[in-house]
Chain A
Amino acid sequence: MEIIATYGFELVLLAGVFGLFMAWGIGANDVANAMGTSVGSKALTIKQAILIAMVFEFAGAYLAGGEVTSTIRKGIIDSAYFVDSPELLVYGMIASLLAAGIWLLLASYLGWPVSTTHSIIGAIVGFAAVGVNADAVTWSKVGGIVGSWVVTPLISGIFAYLIFMSAQKLIFNTSDPLANAKRYVPFYMAMSGFMLSLVTIKKGLKHIGIHFSTSEALLIAGAIAVAVGFIGVFLIKQLKADPQADKKMHYASVEKVFAILMIVTASCMAFAHGSNDVANAIGPLAAVVSIVENGGEITKQAALVWWILPLGGIGIVLGLAIFGSRVMATIGQGITHLTPSRGFAAELAAATTVVLASSTGLPISTTQTLVGAVLGVGMARGIAALNMGVIRNIVISWVVTLPAGAVLSIGIFYMLKGVFSA
């Protein structure tokens, strides 16, 4: 108890710095996965992608990041084991942040596409199970989270399959694909707008103290959806068909319509990513702050301190601004095998899945969901060739991340314990 009273400020500062570091890492690395499909299919330039990512990652983190944050903060660990020694929980959370951050840095250096979510969950479970007590982990909850890692790619794959098939039926397999693209693409835009605004209104606005009933929320989301749809109609009207390009490839102009749609789905993807992944950085930080503020008491109900979510958002944006363009530049080169109509299906499916999962508080992996969605489009025979070897490596890197995060955090946990308790 005295430790928290004496070193309270230092501990919060430490957690804050590591949390910012982690958020920065998420912004620098994960953005490639979240925005890569848009840049890769040439629907957006790198600058546009960064700009969209900054705005919507922050919005997602701030407006819809609370739910997952509270899961990471207090869902995984049974606080009953820490009542007598809350400082252990503080050390553990700081250790987890640092461990996940280090692992992320190492993985990016080596070029492994690891998941930030996996590393932080592995780290938290690691320090709690080994450093404290195996029963200190709420295994049922962890089981649910790990289970969601299997289920969400599946769900987003099915979504992607259905979305892609619907686009085929409504647009590509018709006598006038261009006219049908112009007709139906605004509906896809409206759908994306509806989903995003609904989640924001239901889950996000309560952080800033605004409450709506379900019917009100539906109404507002519907209105926003209509507005987004009309903006889409307007943008598509500006578009000019290019007969020269159409001669080479019949669907060139159709793809241009989808490129506009991709601006919307890319925004969704950034929002979804922010809402889900910000928690990986600030969940542990929130736990530390709450314990210190309450003088060592672990309260269940404590609301999130106001500055935490924006801090995470700013961290992500900083990462984007500093490293994002470099990461994007590597993506922008060479990948032309993805047309906007496929990219849109994958992005919309992944974003929908992530946003839905985020609203239930499940910390899922954005990358994983996107890979599931890409496979879904592949199953619908929309992509010329997918590299299964690369997919296998990605899956392996996810599995390895759990024990790696755990081992690192256990080590750092004991170090911190030694430093502060000495």
Chain B
Amino acid sequence: MNSILGVFAKSPIKPLQEHICKVHQCASHLVPFFEAAYANDWNKATGIRAELSKMEKSADKLKRELRMNLPKGLFMPIDRTDLLGLVTEQDKIANIAKDISGRILGRKLVIPPPIQQEFMEYLLRCLDASACAVKAIDELDELLETGFQGRELQIIDKLVIELDSIENSTDVMQISLRHSLHGIEQDLNPVDVVFLYNVIEWVGDLADLAERVGDKLELMLARS
């Protein structure tokens, strides 16, 4: 094109936001998935798991597109390496959600009824963390509007702090959930118990990874 508008490259911010939205959506499917599992409705759970897996794939596609659209010669207000690191972290959330559902479905692993309620609360709290990460990433286009300074920066800082505190609370919940499981484990199949501990840990990883997204975001903004 015979004009200077070729100078403007595709903005990486929109795809980054789309990616985290997709990832969160994917992880959120764990709620209906576990509800179906609680009800021992494995057909429904399989269907939900298929949907979840489809979302993980489309998140993967978005990730790849984003990487392809970031050639070396771009001049951006944010560091390219940070941006690529951020999308990698985001993508891990979808991966772990897929792993959790796969493990549960593969073993038809039932969360023991005495801790079902507590487990669901724990899962929801972990998903709060990824929702918060979505909110923080969502502020990026506003941050571009303000030239990466001032008020918008404070808004993101606040969201990252909130993300940290959510993650902290999930840690506390995880400890108590493990304790509850420990109390009833002698009545359960030992192999199942091992995997239950694993699943609890992985659900906690959802929050951990969301926090890492916040960390990366903060690092990206601090460096610049």
B11 touches A33 (CB 8 A): no
Could you list 20 A-B pairs, sorted by A, with CB under 8 Å?
A32-B2, A111-B2, A113-B6, A168-B149, A331-B1, A337-B9, A337-B11, A378-B75, A381-B144, A382-B144, A382-B147, A384-B9, A384-B13, A385-B8, A385-B12, A385-B75, A387-B8, A387-B9, A391-B7, A394-B4
Say if the beta carbon of A175 comes within 8 Å of chain B.
Answer: yes
Say if the beta carbon of A48 comes within 8 Å of chain B.
Answer: no
SS class of chain B's interface: helix, strand, loop or mixed? loop
Q: Which residues of B contact A388 (CB under 8 A)?
A: 73-75
B9 touches A386 (CB 8 A): yes
**Of A254, A341, A385, the contact of B9 (CB 8 Å cutoff):** A385
Q: A168-B147, A385-B8 are in contact. List 11 more A-B contacts (CB 8 A).
A: A36-B3, A335-B8, A380-B147, A382-B77, A384-B77, A385-B75, A387-B6, A387-B9, A387-B74, A389-B73, A390-B9
Binding site for B on A (CB under 8 A): 29, 32-33, 36-37, 40, 107-108, 111-113, 164-165, 168, 172-175, 249-251, 254, 327, 330-331, 335, 337-339, 341, 367, 370-371, 374-375, 378, 380-392, 394
Say if the beta carbon of B179 comes within 8 Å of chain A.
Answer: no
Assembly CA distance A422 to B191 (angstroms): 105
A172 touches B150 (CB 8 A): yes
Question: What is the CB-to-nearest-CB distance from A63 to chain B, in angstroms, rounded to a whole number?
Answer: 26
Say if the beta carbon of B51 comes within 8 Å of chain A.
Answer: no
Q: Which residues of A contact B121 (CB under 8 A)?
A: none
Question: What is the CB-to-nearest-CB distance from B221 to chain A, in angstroms, rounded to a whole number?
Answer: 11
B147 touches A175 (CB 8 A): no
Q: A168-B146, A251-B142, A335-B8 are in contact. Are A32 and B3 (CB under 8 A)?
A: yes
State the interface size on chain B (CB cutoff 8 A): 31
B132-163 at interface with A (beta carbon < 8 Å): 141-142, 144-152
Q: Which residues of A contact B77 (CB under 8 A)?
A: 378, 381-384
- Nearest residue, chain B, Cβ from A173: B150
| Most-contacted residue by chain A among B3, B10, B152 (CB, 10 A) | B3
A386 touches B5 (CB 8 A): no
Assembly CA distance A175 to B4 (angstroms): 35
What are the nearest 3 A-B pairs in CB distance? A173-B150, A384-B11, A381-B77
B101-140 at interface with A (beta carbon < 8 Å): none
Assembly CA distance A331 to B10 (angstroms): 14
Question: What is the CB-to-nearest-CB distance from A377 to chain B, in angstroms, rounded to a whole number?
Answer: 9
A107 touches B5 (CB 8 A): no
B73 touches A172 (CB 8 A): no
Q: A327-B3, A390-B7 are in contact. Are A173 and B75 (CB under 8 A)?
A: no
A249 touches B142 (CB 8 A): yes
- Nearest residue, chain B, Cβ from A250: B142
Assembly CA distance A221 to B44 (angstroms): 75
Assembly CA distance A176 to B182 (angstroms): 54
Q: A33-B3, A384-B76, A388-B75 are in contact. Are A164 and B8 (CB under 8 A)?
A: no
Say if the beta carbon of B224 comes within 8 Å of chain A.
Answer: yes
Q: Which residues of B contact A174 (CB under 8 A)?
A: 151
Say if the beta carbon of B71 comes within 8 Å of chain A.
Answer: yes
Q: Which residues of A contact B145 (CB under 8 A)?
A: 172, 250-251, 254, 339, 341
- Nearest residue, chain A, Cβ from B75: A386
Assembly CA distance A330 to B2 (angstroms): 10
- Nearest residue, chain B, Cβ from A391: B7
- Nearest residue, chain B, Cβ from A332: B5
Assembly CA distance A168 to B150 (angstroms): 9
B7 touches A384 (CB 8 A): no
Assembly CA distance A323 to B3 (angstroms): 14
B42-80 at interface with A (beta carbon < 8 Å): 71, 73-77
Q: Which residues of A contact B10 (CB under 8 A)?
A: 337, 385
**Of B4, B11, B148, B152, the contact of A374 (CB 8 Å cutoff):** B4
Q: Which residues of B contact A375 (CB under 8 A)?
A: 75
B74 touches A385 (CB 8 A): yes
A113 touches B8 (CB 8 A): no
Question: What is the CB-to-nearest-CB distance from A339 to chain B, in angstroms, rounded to a whole number?
Answer: 7
Q: Which residues of A contact B11 (CB under 8 A)?
A: 337, 384-385
- Nearest residue, chain A, Cβ from B6: A390
Q: A337-B11, A378-B75 are in contact. Are A36 and B151 (CB under 8 A)?
A: no
A175 touches B151 (CB 8 A): yes
**Of A175, A251, A335, A385, the contact of B5 (CB 8 Å cutoff):** A335
Question: What is the CB-to-nearest-CB distance from A329 to chain B, in angstroms, rounded to a whole number?
Answer: 11
B7 touches A387 (CB 8 A): yes
| Most-contacted residue by chain B among A250, A327, A392 (CB, 10 A) | A250
